[in-house]
Structure 1
Amino acid sequence: MVIDDDEDAEATLRRCGYYRLSGYTHYFRERPSLRRFAPGTTLRKVTDLYHFDETLRAVILDGIAQLEPALRFHVGHRLGRSARFAHRRGTYLNESGTMWAQGLDGTSRSKHASWLQEYSQQESRSQETFVQHFRRQYGPHLPVWVATEVMTLGTLTRLYDLMPDNDRKLVALRFGLRTADGDGDPGTFSNWLNFLRHVRNICAHHSRLWNRTLDVSLTRPARAFAPELAHIDASGRRRLYGIIAALRFLLARIEPGSHWYSRALTVVTDYARTSGARLSTMGFPHGWQSQELWAPKYLPDMLLREVADSVDAVDTVNRPTAMFLVEKKGDEAARKNWIRYLVRERAIIAHRMGPQQHFPTFQFRDGNVYPPAANVNVNLFSRIERTEKDSSRAAIAAQRWWMTSDLAHGFEEPPLVMLERDRDAVRKASAVWANGTMARIT
């Protein structure tokens, strides 16, 4: 290795450490023996690579930092719909996570009990101003929507794994990951979270990233619902390319205007151009530039996010549970047919997520459909479906009407709230909104 300045070399070693810096020299060694450096290798080339990796880690950390707040919100918000301390009570979590089993040390403990011990330590040592204020005003323990803000990413990831299956599916769908049948894909999303947690730890500990083969491989989601990721091969899913691709995919769904991906690619390609480094060592496949994922105008179908947001906005139940809400209609077959009839006649709002339908619960009461709500729904759909033929978007629009104040018709509060006070006024307002179309379901 050519060293032009001994003093500069010594300062570099004191600043970086020989062992850490030596990891970057292997790229410049002759193969296969690796005993000698390739001709023309200089210390400056090694340090340039070292500083490139520093910049790269900072950019990747920034991408994960843009993702984390949304993840914390959606996990905390969804669990918070069940109970403010749902993270502390196994009854609100996945049953498999609360089952006790004997560990290697001979003691019995559930996954949730182990998680709670870990989280409680993080909660107790937090000195954030908002945490101190909460403790003074309300007590020692934080509700879940606050608790997610003091968890490490690893603890947050494990809490996601403990959530009920339907909640995990909803969150996964919100971030764009679906199974082959179109439902939310919690298994793949859990893998992605663990993958990004692993990457974050590498960056936070200033470890080498640029051509590293990761210990965790990124799971590729169903091709039908993520064709823009189908080109990533096995090597790319364990290297830098997979990291940038996963963050690009997720950020496009929670922050569509984000240009983070462009900055990340510029850092990588600029270094490759000036140094001669091969992008393939970082998992970039041949022809990657032409992939849809990197197009400046790449914009995923946001309908998926809107459906998930609608299901998350109000209390909902799936079809099997909805059948119990119409128990007055007879046996199981009769109830199933009644639900189908109500959906077909647009008397109830139904949000479809893959093979499953989700129904806002305000539409049911006393063992049957709630007639005032059903009548309004018929009026709403009669207008919406004149211009909106997509059933998912029509259902979103109908629910939005229920949740939006209508000052033009004297509603200072959303019709969903006013329904309890003056159902006739709400029905008349929906009829006027639907240009006079009236209907009644009994």
Structure 2
Amino acid sequence: MYGATTATTTKLHKTRKSSHAHLRHLRAKGLITKGQQSQALNALQFVGYYRLLIYTRPLQDDQKRFYPGVRFDDILALYEFDRSLRLVLLDAIEQVEVAFRSAIVNAMANDFGPHFYLKTKHFKGMEAHRNFMKNVLGLRLTNPIKHYYHTYHTPPYPPIWTILEELSIGQMSRLLASLDREHRRRVATQFGYDEKVIVSWLKSTTMLRNNCAHHSRVWNNNVGADSPQSANAIHSEFPGNPDQGFFFSRTVALQALLKAIDPSTTWQDRFKTVMRTLPVATLSKAGITPQSIGIPFQWETRPFWN
């Protein structure tokens, strides 16, 4: 009706609680015993309630009630495992990222020149080339790029090896995907797999790297985007459902790439050491098994991992 006033309800955001308040909250839920209070308070102060919160979800039912027997130590065990997992994965990702930079240079610069990327014919099309050049134009003026511009006048942009050192892994992944198919094959041949597989693996590694670098949960992150494509030669190593095995399917791709880069790699030993710390007893309280999160039974005994 004209002239009538309408009541509105404003929902206020939650105020931040202190670490001591969070401690009381968790203690009221039965998660913290008297002897755990000091350790729990330290974790709440220096790790943070809201970061630890994402590790509580798997230990709760649909009504957010904790499963019987769950304690704060279980939450910390998942957090510490995930932290160790991210660190060992980042070590592998670094080696893979460096190898791809070199592989693109090896595949392209020798036969097509260090400035091949200035020509549209080396890309899938004009749009792909235009998008890559936007990345080139947007690069920070680091010392190597400044040196080129101060020393040379033509061609107008630095060589591909200088460009690649400044690109993020995501930008490099998009470059590989945007190259002409024959060029993608030239890169993929160095790793021993089909070009579609290699493009998929670098893309999936990019997502995994971003999760690790931003301290996001990895161990049971079931985001299905950019899942690595299975390669025929190692098809049995991938989880039956790649979306379910978010980190493990990407780990298979990492291990395959590392073995291609360095057949004597021992990275898998460090990875297996971390995986032995998976808190299976904690997960069992919530009815979770390694297989239910995409980790194949006795995977570590297979020749692929040895």
Band the TM-score falls in, shorter-chain normalisation: 0.7 to 0.9
Q: Which residue, 131, 146, 161 being the options, matches 2:177? A: 161
Report how many residues are paired: 266
State, as a whole percentage, how many aligned pairs show the same letter.
Answer: 28
Indicate conservation of the 8 Å contact 1:212/1:282, yes or no.
no
Find the residue that maps to 1:47 and give its secondary structure.
helix
Corresponding position of 2:213: 204
Of residues 139, 152, 159, the one that matches 1:138 is 152
Matched, 1:235 2:241: yes
Distance 1:113 1:219 in 2: 27
Paired residues for 1:108-127 under 5 Å: 110-122=127-139, 125-127=140-142
Larger RCO: 1 or 2 (CA < 8 Å, sep 6+):
2
Q: Where does residue 56 of structure 2 map in the other structure?
A: 25
Matched residue, 2:186: 170
Q: Does 1:190 align with 2:199?
A: yes
Question: Is 2:234 the counterpart of 1:220?
Answer: no
Matched, 1:150 2:166: yes
Aligned residues: CA RMSD: 2.3
Secondary structure of the 1:39 match is coil
Residue 281 to residue 263, structure 1, CA distance change in 2 (3 Å): farther
Give the match's secondary structure for 1:280. helix
Structure 1 residues 253 and 15, CA, compared in 2 at 3 Å: closer, same or farther?
same
- Output aligned runs, 1:241-320, within 5 Å: 241-272=248-279, 275=282, 278-294=289-305, 296=306
Written as runs of structure 1 = structure 2, the 5 A alignment for 1:320-359 is none
Q: 1:267 to 1:34 in 2, by over 3 A?
A: farther
- Counterpart CA distance in 2 for 1:233 and 1:56 is 18
Query: How far apart are the structure 1 equivalents of 2:88 and 2:167?
Result: 22
Q: Which AA in structure 2 matches 1:135?
A: Y
Larger Cα-atom Rg: 1
- 1:57 aligns to what? 86
Contact residue 177 and residue 199 of structure 2 kept, 8 A: yes
Inter-partner Cα distance in structure 2 for 1:126 and 1:8 = 46
* Letter matched to residue 288 of structure 1: W
1:145 deviates by 1.9
- CA deviations 1:272-302 (Å, max 9, x no partner) are 46756632244112342343311x2xxxxxx
TM superposition shift of 1:34: 4.1
Look up the equivalent residue of 1:240 and give its one-letter code.
F
Asked whether the 8 Å contact 1:57–1:203 carries over to 2, the reply is yes
Per the alignment, in what secondary structure is the counterpart of residue 24 of structure 1? coil
Cα 1:290/1:8, change in 2 over 3 Å: closer
Distance (whole Å) between structure 1 residues aligned to residue 279 and residue 141 of structure 2: 42
Aligned-pair distance for 1:189?
A: 1.4
| Alpha-carbon distance between aligned partners in 1 of 2:107 and 2:86, rounded to the nearest angstrom | 31
Q: TM-score, normalised by structure 2?
A: 0.79
Could you report, residue by residue, the CA deviation over 1:10-66 in whole angstroms, capped at 9, with x for unpaired residues?
44234333332111012222x4x3432122222122112112111111111110101
SS in 1 for 2:260: helix
What does 1:362-441 correspond to in 2, within 5 Å? none
Deviations 1:246-289 (A, max 9, x none): 11111111111111111112101233467566322441123423
CA contact (8 A) 1:244 1:264 kept: no
| Contact map agreement 2:81 2:279 (CA 8 A) in 1 | no
**Distance change in 2, residues 1:12/1:126 (3 Å):** farther
How far apart are the structure 1 equivalents of 2:74 and 2:298? Answer: 27
In 1, distance between residues paired with 2:238 and 2:188? 20
- Whichever residue aligns with residue 154 of structure 1, its letter is G
Residue 125 (structure 2) pairs with residue 97 (structure 1)? yes
* Cα distance in 2, alignment partners of residues 11 and 78 from structure 1: 52
Secondary structure at the counterpart of residue 97 of structure 2 = helix
SS of 1:17's equivalent? helix
What is the Cα deviation at residue 8 of structure 1? 4.3
Task: Give TM-score scaled by structure 1 length.
Answer: 0.56
Q: Tell me: CA distance 1:231–1:251, structure 2 relative to 1, closer, same or farther (3 Å).
A: closer
